[in-house]
A and B are shown apart, each in its own frame.
Chain A
Amino acid sequence: MVMAASAESIAVPQSDETRARRDGFADRLFRRIVAGAGIFVLATLAGVALTTLWGGREAFATFGFKFVVSSDWDTVGKQFGALAPVYGTLVTAAIALIIAVPVSFGIALYLTEIAPPWLRTPVAAAIELLAGIPSIIYGMWGLFVFVPIMGRHLNPWLNEHLSGWPVVGALFSGTQYSIGLGMLTAGIVLAIMVIPFISSVMREVFLTVPTRLKESAYALGSTTWEVAWDIVLPYTRTAVIGGIFLGLGRALGETMAVTFVLGNVHRLSLSLLEPGNSIAATIANEFAEADSEIFRASLIALAFLLFVVTFIVLAIAKLMLRQMEKKEGK
């Protein structure tokens, strides 16, 4: 029956036109649906940004530019400034990326180029499993296992050996390092959390590099490192940077794990060994009992600032990428 029907429709010439019309309609519909999906992202983003801006308007109106440059967070005197959490957010995310990017690159390279084939699948599966662990688990692990290690061993060592250095010394000074809670601890926990994201993206895209290219390079006498650096990385650079952005986004916005190990205090300190605060942790901690209008408005304004911070960080990264491409004459 079906065969007969299709044979018939092929045989009848005027159905070509209806088919073309039908296809055209389907195509337009498909386009609209896909465009709708695309606009959905923009609309959500704009909606959240506008809502947080509107919700935080009282804070911006009351404190003005001081909200961004003041580190005061006095809930009793109702003076609010976002500098300490903004600084904490940026510093912890930066530490996370400084650690996570090279490690992820190593993992991905090992899995695609060096590891024996029987090991590749289990390790890749393990990475994906790591990506699925809820952040509260990382937070609790961080607090109960990692914080004591930092407080007893790494932090005192860093403080003893590095605090005397010029410039860098300030990052490792302070008096509360033996607690183990702080920006460095939070940054390292964040790094562990974002490594699975970055490394699995890197691994996926490294696999797309044509074997031909790599083998040609090997044939010309390249070492594995040269192949990785000169062939694999340039070929996959855009996707690799996309993966890093993904990790960065997660590091900037991570809440639960950070609040466990960061110390949650609104004090601005240059030292990485001192407790601090992040935007997401501040909101999570304080929103439920924000008992005055201006307090609540300040927390929502903080959420808006997280948007702005993320946007600026991503914009700078894009600009650097473009600069890099220009240098290479692309």
Chain B
Amino acid sequence: MFHSIRHSLTAFAVAAALFAGSAHAVDVTGAGSTFVQPIVAKWSASYAEKTGSHINYGGGGSGAGIAQIKAATIDFGASDKPLSPEELAAAGLGQFPIVIGGVVPVVNIEGVKAGEIKLTGAQLGDIYLGKIKKWNDPALAANNAGIKLPDAAIQVVSRSDGSGTTFNYTNYLSKVSPEWKAKVGEGTSVQWPVGVGGKGNAGVAAYVQQINGSIGYVELAYALQNKMAYTQVQNAAGKFVTPNLASFAAAASHADWKSAKDFQLVITNAPGDDSWPITATAFALIYKTPKDAARSKAVIDYFKYAYTEGGKAAEALDYVPLPAALVAQIEAYWKAEVKL
């Protein structure tokens, strides 16, 4: 909510950490995605306890993280959106996944409980395009037999601020709705055809809770904490799945990481019967040929620790740790690509 404040705090944290960094070579700084901020903070605290090395992560948003790692003012950046291999090569950066999360549609319809409504990707697209206007639209009734959907207008809620959540959500809609792809497209913020915009996950959650007949999208943690009515969504295999850590993990393991150069893969609409279709990955960005190899090594050591010992902490915060095969692939990538 306090983006500008967070911004200046980031700058301050970065500056402070740079000064501190000269004294302790193992302390490193990162910035970027606010989506991973809670888990990176949690990992950093336990990592500092274990090793004495401090990881200072300033958040600030993926855009800020990308800009700062390109300007080499931080040791690693974090982004909700993978950069293309070309962009990475131009800046001399390497990229790898940090953790998995998911975006969840939430509704506020009287009498409808969490997980009751089933929506297909195309229906989500049509709702957000303003084509399906009422909850009792026959199109929705087809896959919601047994639930009485009211004769009420659908109030669409989206994110007003740019975010990785929006990127993954619009990326998914673009994959499942050709009309969405043509008219709106994907991005950290887009021109929403209908509805209102709330600021941050908290803002969207507040709007959805306030407005009768509304639908919005938030990260899983917000849906669970606010006890909101999330929906089931049909995945690429045609099955309706409930959003939870198991279905996020399924999407992450079914996704085709092997053929993704520099891990450039958005795992929305992933294959697999039990995959949640709007699963998201956060990515770390580091220099392939760092000026200060010790610092980059410290970053890699930290993520190694996070992958091997940080799984429980991640699940407690509603994230999904990376599947073992992916971790092995990342470690091979470090060996091959990062010069230490």
- Which residues of chain A have C-beta atoms less than 8 A from B62's C-beta? 289, 291
Q: Which residue on chain A has the smallest CB distance to residue B213?
A: A178
* Contact status A74-B191, CB under 8 Å: yes
CA separation between A143 and B207, bound complex, in Å? 8
Residues of B within 8 A of A73 (CB): 191
Shortest CB-to-CB span from A318 to chain B, Å, is 31
How many residues of chain A are within 8 Å of chain B by beta carbon?
34
In the assembled complex, which residues on chain A have CB atoms less than 8 Å from the CB atom of B4? 284, 287-288
- B198 lies within 8 A of A264 (CB): yes
Residues on B with beta carbons closer than 8 Å to the beta carbon of A75: 162, 187-191
Once A259-B160, A265-B195, A266-B191 are accepted as A-B contacts, the answer to whether A287 and B210 lie under 8 Å apart by CB is no
We find that the number of chain B residues with CB closer than 8 angstroms to chain A is 38
- Contact flags A49-88 to B (C-beta < 8 A → 1, else 0): 0000000000000000000000011111100000000000
Q: Which of A5-13, A31-39, A144-152, A205-213 contacts B (4 or more CB under 8 A)?
A: A144-152
Give the distance to chain A from B160, nearest Cβ to Cβ, in Å. 3
Q: How far is the CA of A289 from the CA of B35 in the complex (A)?
A: 13
Whether A275 touches B184, Cβ cut-off 8 Å, given contacts A289-B161, A290-B162, is no
From A76, A147, A175, A285, give the contact of B160 (CB < 8 A). A285
Residue of A nearest to B66 (CB): A291
Least Cβ–Cβ distance between B55 and chain A, in angstroms: 21
* Cβ-defined contact, A290 with B63, below 8 A: yes
Is A291 a contact partner of B188 (Cβ separation < 8 A)?
Answer: yes
**Is B297 in contact with chain A by the CB < 8 A criterion?**
no
A160 within 8 A of B: no
The one of A76, A136, A181, A288 that contacts B3, using a Cβ cutoff of 8 Å: A288
Partner of A181, one of B60, B63, B196: B196
Task: Report the Cα distance A143→B199, complex, angstroms.
Answer: 12
B56: CB under 8 A from chain A? no
A163 at the interface (CB under 8 A from B): no
| C-alpha gap A286/B190 in the complex (Å) | 11
CB atoms of B153 and A175 under 8 A apart:
yes
Which of B3, B160, B195, B203 is packed against the most chain A CB atoms within 10 Å? B160
**B162: which A residues are within 8 A, CB to CB?**
75, 285-286, 288-291
Q: Whole-angstrom distance from the CB of B155 to the nearest CB of chain A? A: 6
**A265 and B63 within 8 A (CB):** no
Residue B41 at the chain A interface, CB threshold 8 Å: no
B129 CB → nearest A CB, Å: 14
In the complex, A135 has a CB within 8 A of chain B:
no
- For B140-163 the 0/1 string (1 means CB < 8 A from A) is 000000000000010100001111
> Which residues between 2 and 42 of chain B lie within 8 Å of chain A, taking CB atoms?
3-4, 6-7
B293: A residues at CB distance < 8 A? none
Residues A288 and B197 in contact, CB atoms below 8 Å apart: no
**13 further contact pairs, Cβ within 8 A, besides A264-B160, A289-B61, A289-B62:** A76-B191, A136-B1, A175-B153, A176-B155, A285-B160, A285-B197, A286-B162, A287-B7, A288-B61, A288-B162, A291-B63, A291-B162, A291-B187
Nearest 10 A/B pairs, CB to CB: A289-B162, A264-B160, A264-B197, A76-B185, A263-B196, A288-B61, A285-B161, A288-B3, A74-B191, A285-B160
Please give the residue numbers on chain B whose beta carbons come within 8 Å of chain A beta carbons, in ascending order. 1, 3-4, 6-7, 60-64, 66, 153, 155, 160-163, 184-192, 195-199, 203, 206-207, 210-212, 214
Q: List 8 A-B contacts (CB under 8 A).
A: A75-B187, A77-B191, A148-B210, A176-B196, A179-B155, A180-B210, A264-B197, A291-B162
